[in-house]
C-alpha cells in the first residue's frame, strides 16, 4: 500500500505500515477457558434474590466470565461459590454480553484479591508460550 502526500505541487509516495490484526493483550492476567461449577448468589434485574448453579466460561486471577440465565445489573456484587472446593468470593459485575448461541456471559471482577480461588497458577502478563523442542520425528504408519 502506498499513500500519496502532496507537498506544494509535487506528490511523494510514502509506504504505509501494515498493522498486524492482533492486538496486544492488555489484561492484568491471562484468561483461561475453564469450566468450573459455581453457585452464584445475588439480585436479579428486578431486585429479587437468587441463588443458582452456573458454569464459568473463562477464568483469570482477577475474576471470571460466567454463563448466567438470569439477568443481573452492572455494578452488582455477586457471591460466587466454587462447586468443587466450596470456597466463596465476592465479585462485581463489570460486563454483560450475549453470545451468538444466545447465552448470557457475565464478567465478574473479584472485589478482593483472591489469588487461589481457581487453584491454578496463571502466567505473568506478556509471557510467551512454552515451546518444546521436537526430539524425534513420528513415523507414519
Q: Which CATH number fits domain 32-110: 2.40.10.220, 3.40.50.450, 1.10.290.10, 1.10.260.40?
A: 2.40.10.220
CA 125 – CA 31 distance, rounded (Å): 10
Q: What is the pLDDT of residues 25-48, one digit of tens each?
A: 455 667 888 999 999 999 888 889
Q: What is the pLDDT of residues 84-126, one digit of tens each?
A: 999 999 999 999 998 888 788 999 999 987 668 998 887 776 6
Reported for 73-79, long-range contacts at CB under 8 A and 24+ positions apart, including other chains, are 73/43, 73/45, 76/42, 76/43, 77/42, 77/111, 78/40, 78/41, 78/42, 78/106, 78/108, 79/40, 79/41, 79/42
Q: DSSP character for 139? A: P
CA 140 – CA 12 distance, rounded (Å): 56
Q: What is the pLDDT of residues 5-24, one digit of tens each?
A: 444 445 555 444 444 444 44
Amino acid at each position: 500500500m502506498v499513500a500519496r502526500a502532496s507537498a506544494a505541487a509535487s506528490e511523494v509516495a510514502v509506504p504505509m505500515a501494515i498493522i498486524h490484526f492482533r492486538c496486544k493483550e492488555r489484561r492484568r492476567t491471562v484468561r483461561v477457558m475453564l469450566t468450573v461449577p459455581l453457585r452464584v448468589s445475588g439480585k436479579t434485574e428486578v431486585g429479587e434474590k437468587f441463588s443458582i448453579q452456573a458454569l464459568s466460561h473463562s477464568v483469570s486471577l482477577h475474576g471470571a466470565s460466567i454463563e448466567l440465565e438470569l439477568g443481573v445489573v452492572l455494578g452488582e456484587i455477586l457471591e460466587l461459590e466454587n462447586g468443587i472446593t466450596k470456597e466463596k468470593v465476592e465479585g462485581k459485575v463489570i460486563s454483560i454480553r450475549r453470545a451468538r448461541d444466545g447465552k448470557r456471559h457475565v464478567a465478574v471482577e473479584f472485589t478482593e484479591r483472591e489469588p487461589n480461588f481457581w487453584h491454578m497458577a496463571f502466567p505473568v502478563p506478556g509471557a510467551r508460550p512454552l515451546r518444546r523442542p521436537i526430539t524425534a520425528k513420528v513415523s507414519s504408519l
